[in-house]
Amino acid sequence: MTEQIRKIELIVTAREQDEGVGARVRRSIGTQARRNFYPFLLFDHFSGNNANGFPEHPHRGQETITLMINGAMAHEDFTGSKGVLYSGDLQFMTAGKGVVHSEMPLPAADGSANEGLQLWVDLPNNLKNSEPRYRDLREWEIPQLVEDDGKVIVKLISGKSHGVESVKDLAYTPVDYYQYTVKKGGSFKQELRKDFNYFLYVLQGDGLKVNGDRNVKQFQNAFFVKQGDYFTGENNDDKDVVFALIGGKIEDQEVIQYGPFVCSSREGVEQAFDDYQSMKNGFENLRTWKTLISHGVTQEMVDGPLDGSLEKRAQQKEEYLRTHKVINKV
């Protein structure tokens, strides 16, 4: 059977806006231009520094996938989970029946912004009442592929690329996730899975040409049609192109969402607001929880209760590399 190229359906430019407290986001899913792209409900390219972040706020019925691009972000929630994500790390959170958490940047010595991507993924209806959970994926656990004589570099977070497969449990819904860097003159062909929706968001560079005929520039999100087995790309600009390619399995499920609550019915959304305000049915921990980081993160917090010092991180990396075979293709 002949392979079919997958074309771009829509390109959305992510405009910068305020979010949280003093933070900035470029949102390309969860807007008037693209309400959702099943199974994805929201996609933000965020930045913030010092106390400019996302203090305590609730979620129900979805999962979040957070990738740190630059800097570091502390997180905590009312179940007791807490820690620090550094550049290249990912975190996967299942809100399930309810969670309240905070995400706040670590102050950078040079005042630069902490930058990352956050994706919301719908939960299957039969799992919307599941218990909250977290999983972390550290940057050293991610295979890196070098192709086209060093002009194409792929961080294979989850999926299959250039003959290498590394599928991770990012969410209950199967998700593919790649981070590409394409240097001047670099070209590639990326295979795609059937029954998956895919989008491509450009973090850096204006030189990406997809399928030989569509340019996708910095801060633009290109949404692909549902049909097709692969797409191609090339960079003819002097500046490197960096983009995230993300795909998720399509399910026959209606999205009922209001803000941070995603339910299987409109009555469920009303119930979620009542449960949150009344601190019941999944939100009971709010009665006793005291946030640690919502007003800003200090080094004492990082070294102490957040258990996220750079020294400990170096030890964890050394131990992992000593005991695991790292898949890298050069």
| Domain count along the chain | 1
| Residues 308, 256: Cα–Cα separation, whole Å | 37
Domain membership of residue 275 (yes or no) is: no
295 labeled part of a ligand binding site: no
CA distances from 220 to 7, 15, 148 (A): 16, 9, 25
pLDDT digits (tens, 9 = 90+) for 60-98: 999 999 999 999 999 999 999 999 999 999 999 999 999
The H-or-E segment that residue 278 falls in is helix 266-278
Stretch 294-304: mean pLDDT: 95
Stretch 26-37: mean pLDDT: 94
| Residues 101, 83: Cα–Cα separation, whole Å | 12
Domain membership of residue 269 (yes or no) is: no
Domain membership of residue 94 (yes or no) is: yes
Domain membership of residue 302 (yes or no) is: no
CA distances from 245 to 112, 176, 267 (A): 26, 8, 35
The range of the structural domain enclosing residue 182 comes to 8-249
The letter for the amino acid at 151 is K
59 labeled part of a ligand binding site: yes
Domain membership of residue 274 (yes or no) is: no
- Decide if pLDDT at 111 tops 90: no
Read off the tokens for 313: 């991180």
75 labeled part of a ligand binding site: no
- Decide if pLDDT at 177 tops 90: yes
Domain membership of residue 262 (yes or no) is: no
101 labeled part of a ligand binding site: yes
Model confidence band, residue 124 (pLDDT cutoffs 50, 70, 90): very high
Domain membership of residue 318 (yes or no) is: no
In our burial notation (b when 16+ CB lie closer than 10 A, e otherwise), range 121-146 reads: bbbebeebbbebebeebebbbbbbbe
Domain membership of residue 93 (yes or no) is: yes
CATH of the domain at 204: 2.60.120.10
Q: What is the mean pLDDT of the chain?
A: 94
